Amino acid sequence: MNIYHKLKIGLDYHGVVDTRIEYFTLFAKEARKRGHQIYIITGGPKYLVQKKLDQHNFCYDHIFAIVDYFQAKDQVSYDANGNFHIAEDLWNKAKGEYCRIAGIDLQIDDSLEYAKWFKTPYCFYHQESKICILTDNQKINLFGNIQDTLDDIEEKFAVSSKY
């Protein structure tokens, strides 16, 4: 019997999770039941995203927020209105670099702008069709039966091994 290793699945919050919070809450719950880890990878700030996820009892393992990361490195500036600013090149590369370092197996995101900075498999999420397209043009349907969606992800990304 082949058993798949446990995956680290990255989900963007703004533009992915927040567009269908009920679906992705169930998706994350089922993925974690299967032993996979869910990483919320977002612009942030973390405390706001965490608050919204907690309101929906969203299960996750880690949150990475770009603004918090660069704030800790003192690379964030604020304008008179309290809006934060981070150099565009730093911002655009941050998710890809984090996914590489954290060993994320799949990132689901709604911005093609970030894809070029990823070594991690990157799936571009189309909000209207609810289909995610990988860089090799394979598709993952993120609608309908969550079991089937996770089976598909496991087949595409998990390395099978015998335990």
pLDDT in tens, 9-64: 999 999 999 999 999 999 999 999 999 999 999 998 999 999 999 999 999 999 99
Percent of the chain at pLDDT exceeding 70: 94
What tokens appear for 18 in the block? 């927040």
Q: What is the pTM of this model?
A: 0.91
Buried b (16+ CB within 10 A) or exposed e, 43-78: bbebeebbeebeeeebbbeebbbbbbbbbeeeebee
- pLDDT for 2 equals 44
Confidence of residue 162 (pLDDT cuts 50, 70, 90): very low
Average pLDDT of 140-147?
94
- pLDDT for 1 equals 34
CB 16 within 8 A of CB 108: yes
What tokens appear for 41 in the block? 């990878």
Strands (E), 25-129: 37-42, 62-65, 77-78, 84-85, 106-109, 122-126
- pLDDT for 78 equals 86
Model confidence over 116-133: pLDDT tens digits? Answer: 999 999 999 999 999 999
Q: Which residues contact 24 (CB under 8 A, 6 or more apart)?
A: 11, 16, 17, 58
What tokens appear for 134 in the block? 């990988």
